[in-house]
Amino acid sequence: MTSTTIAELPWWDLAEVADHDAAIFGPTAWTLGYYWSVKAQNGTIMLAARAASADDSDADSTASGEDATASAGELAGWIVMSGAGAEADVMTIATTEAARGQGIGRALLRAGIDWAKDRGAEVVHLEVDERNTAALEMYAAFGFEEWGRRPDYYPGAAGILMRLRIGD
Protein backbone atom coordinates (compact mmCIF):
# COMPACT_ATOMS: atom_id res chain seq x y z
CA MET A 1 0.00 0.00 0.00
CA THR A 2 1.31 3.46 -0.82
CA SER A 3 0.58 6.88 0.59
CA THR A 4 1.33 10.28 -0.86
CA THR A 5 2.93 13.09 1.07
CA ILE A 6 2.89 16.71 -0.07
CA ALA A 7 5.61 18.85 1.46
CA GLU A 8 7.59 21.93 0.63
CA LEU A 9 10.26 21.06 -1.92
CA PRO A 10 13.72 21.28 -0.31
CA TRP A 11 16.54 22.84 -2.30
CA TRP A 12 18.43 19.56 -2.47
CA ASP A 13 15.63 18.07 -4.61
CA LEU A 14 15.67 20.79 -7.29
CA ALA A 15 17.89 18.81 -9.68
CA GLU A 16 15.57 15.79 -9.48
CA VAL A 17 12.55 17.96 -10.28
CA ALA A 18 14.37 19.72 -13.14
CA ASP A 19 15.28 16.33 -14.64
CA HIS A 20 11.64 15.20 -14.53
CA ASP A 21 10.52 18.58 -15.87
CA ALA A 22 12.80 18.15 -18.90
CA ALA A 23 11.41 14.67 -19.56
CA ILE A 24 7.80 15.88 -19.33
CA PHE A 25 7.93 19.30 -20.99
CA GLY A 26 10.86 18.96 -23.41
CA PRO A 27 11.77 22.27 -25.04
CA THR A 28 9.51 24.31 -22.72
CA ALA A 29 10.89 22.79 -19.50
CA TRP A 30 12.31 24.93 -16.73
CA THR A 31 16.06 24.62 -16.29
CA LEU A 32 17.72 23.84 -12.99
CA GLY A 33 18.99 27.42 -12.93
CA TYR A 34 15.46 28.73 -13.37
CA TYR A 35 14.20 26.52 -10.52
CA TRP A 36 16.95 27.97 -8.31
CA SER A 37 15.97 31.53 -9.30
CA VAL A 38 12.30 30.94 -8.53
CA LYS A 39 13.14 29.19 -5.24
CA ALA A 40 15.04 32.31 -4.17
CA GLN A 41 12.10 34.67 -4.85
CA ASN A 42 9.94 35.99 -2.06
CA GLY A 43 6.27 35.08 -2.36
CA THR A 44 6.77 31.67 -3.96
CA ILE A 45 6.38 28.13 -2.76
CA MET A 46 7.38 24.83 -4.32
CA LEU A 47 5.51 21.75 -3.17
CA ALA A 48 6.36 18.17 -4.07
CA ALA A 49 4.25 15.03 -3.88
CA ARG A 50 6.09 11.85 -3.03
CA ALA A 51 4.74 8.32 -3.03
CA ALA A 52 6.03 6.21 -0.18
CA SER A 53 5.16 2.75 0.95
CA ALA A 54 3.14 2.72 4.17
CA ASP A 55 5.91 0.61 5.68
CA ASP A 56 8.52 3.26 4.92
CA SER A 57 6.75 6.37 6.20
CA ASP A 58 4.12 7.35 8.69
CA ALA A 59 3.79 10.83 7.18
CA ASP A 60 0.43 11.93 5.86
CA SER A 61 -0.65 14.22 3.04
CA THR A 62 -0.44 17.33 5.22
CA ALA A 63 3.23 16.98 6.11
CA SER A 64 5.36 20.05 5.51
CA GLY A 65 8.80 21.40 6.20
CA GLU A 66 12.25 21.30 4.71
CA ASP A 67 13.77 18.25 6.33
CA ALA A 68 14.92 14.84 5.19
CA THR A 69 11.37 13.45 5.25
CA ALA A 70 10.41 15.86 2.44
CA SER A 71 12.70 13.84 0.15
CA ALA A 72 11.45 10.41 1.24
CA GLY A 73 9.73 8.33 -1.41
CA GLU A 74 9.45 8.49 -5.17
CA LEU A 75 8.73 11.88 -6.74
CA ALA A 76 5.14 11.87 -8.03
CA GLY A 77 4.66 15.54 -8.92
CA TRP A 78 5.18 19.16 -7.99
CA ILE A 79 3.59 22.60 -8.10
CA VAL A 80 5.18 26.04 -7.99
CA MET A 81 3.01 28.93 -6.84
CA SER A 82 3.64 32.65 -6.56
CA GLY A 83 1.52 35.21 -4.81
CA ALA A 84 1.40 38.93 -4.20
CA GLY A 85 -1.51 40.79 -2.69
CA ALA A 86 -4.86 39.53 -3.91
CA GLU A 87 -3.42 37.48 -6.79
CA ALA A 88 -1.62 34.16 -7.06
CA ASP A 89 -0.29 32.17 -9.99
CA VAL A 90 0.25 28.50 -10.69
CA MET A 91 3.69 28.90 -12.25
CA THR A 92 4.04 25.20 -13.08
CA ILE A 93 2.45 21.92 -12.07
CA ALA A 94 3.26 18.41 -13.23
CA THR A 95 2.95 14.77 -12.34
CA THR A 96 5.40 12.09 -13.32
CA GLU A 97 4.31 9.51 -15.88
CA ALA A 98 4.12 6.80 -13.23
CA ALA A 99 1.88 8.90 -10.98
CA ARG A 100 -0.70 10.01 -13.53
CA GLY A 101 -4.34 9.13 -13.01
CA GLN A 102 -3.97 8.79 -9.25
CA GLY A 103 -5.22 12.22 -8.13
CA ILE A 104 -1.74 13.62 -7.50
CA GLY A 105 -2.32 16.65 -9.75
CA ARG A 106 -5.60 17.41 -8.00
CA ALA A 107 -3.97 17.12 -4.57
CA LEU A 108 -1.13 19.42 -5.61
CA LEU A 109 -3.51 21.97 -7.11
CA ARG A 110 -5.65 21.90 -3.96
CA ALA A 111 -2.52 22.47 -1.84
CA GLY A 112 -1.49 25.37 -4.08
CA ILE A 113 -4.93 26.98 -3.90
CA ASP A 114 -4.98 26.55 -0.13
CA TRP A 115 -1.55 28.24 0.06
CA ALA A 116 -2.90 31.14 -2.03
CA LYS A 117 -5.99 31.48 0.20
CA ASP A 118 -3.81 31.51 3.32
CA ARG A 119 -1.82 34.41 1.79
CA GLY A 120 -5.00 36.39 1.15
CA ALA A 121 -5.31 35.80 -2.60
CA GLU A 122 -8.71 36.36 -4.15
CA VAL A 123 -7.88 34.94 -7.57
CA VAL A 124 -5.51 32.27 -8.90
CA HIS A 125 -4.24 32.51 -12.49
CA LEU A 126 -2.61 29.93 -14.73
CA GLU A 127 -1.92 29.19 -18.36
CA VAL A 128 -2.03 25.81 -20.02
CA ASP A 129 -1.26 24.32 -23.43
CA GLU A 130 -4.50 24.08 -25.37
CA ARG A 131 -3.65 20.44 -26.23
CA ASN A 132 -3.39 19.35 -22.59
CA THR A 133 -6.91 17.99 -22.25
CA ALA A 134 -6.27 16.23 -18.93
CA ALA A 135 -5.10 19.49 -17.33
CA LEU A 136 -7.95 21.48 -18.89
CA GLU A 137 -10.48 19.01 -17.48
CA MET A 138 -8.88 19.18 -14.02
CA TYR A 139 -8.85 22.98 -14.00
CA ALA A 140 -12.48 23.14 -15.12
CA ALA A 141 -13.42 20.71 -12.33
CA PHE A 142 -11.86 23.13 -9.84
CA GLY A 143 -13.85 26.02 -11.33
CA PHE A 144 -11.13 27.70 -13.39
CA GLU A 145 -12.52 29.66 -16.33
CA GLU A 146 -10.82 30.64 -19.57
CA TRP A 147 -10.37 34.38 -19.95
CA GLY A 148 -7.90 34.64 -22.82
CA ARG A 149 -5.39 32.99 -25.12
CA ARG A 150 -1.76 33.51 -26.06
CA PRO A 151 -1.32 32.43 -29.69
CA ASP A 152 1.77 30.28 -30.30
CA TYR A 153 2.80 30.47 -26.64
CA TYR A 154 3.81 26.81 -26.81
CA PRO A 155 5.49 25.21 -29.82
CA GLY A 156 2.58 24.76 -32.22
CA ALA A 157 -0.15 25.63 -29.71
CA ALA A 158 -1.81 28.49 -27.90
CA GLY A 159 -1.64 28.97 -24.17
CA ILE A 160 -5.06 29.18 -22.56
CA LEU A 161 -5.25 31.76 -19.75
CA MET A 162 -7.47 30.67 -16.88
CA ARG A 163 -8.47 32.03 -13.50
CA LEU A 164 -10.24 30.89 -10.37
CA ARG A 165 -11.87 33.36 -8.01
CA ILE A 166 -11.28 32.15 -4.45
CA GLY A 167 -12.01 35.29 -2.45
CA ASP A 168 -15.82 35.06 -2.64
Give 13-67 as a 3 state SS string. Answer: HHHHHHHHHHHHHHHHCCCHHHHHHHHHCCCEEEEEEEEEECCCCCCCCCCCCCC
- The CA distance from 130 to 168, in Å, is 28
- The CA distance from 47 to 86, in Å, is 21
- Give the DSSP H or E segment for 91: strand 87-95
Contact between 119 and 87 (Cβ < 8 Å): no
**pLDDT tens-digit readout, 91-104:** 999 999 989 989 99
Percent of the chain with pLDDT over 70: 87
Q: What is the pLDDT of residue 60?
A: 43
Using 50, 70 and 90 to split pLDDT, how confident is the model at 1?
very low
- The CA distance from 135 to 17, in Å, is 19
- The CA distance from 52 to 62, in Å, is 14
Chain center to CA of 137: 16
pTM given for the model? 0.87
Distances in Å between the alpha carbon of 71 and those of 37, 64, 68? 20, 11, 6
What is the layout of strands, in order, in the sheet containing 74-84? 2-8, 44-53, 74-84, 87-95, 123-129, 157-165, 145-154
- Give the DSSP H or E segment for 116: helix 104-118
**pLDDT tens-digit readout, 17-75:** 999 999 999 999 999 999 999 999 999 999 999 987 555 544 444 444 445 456 678 99
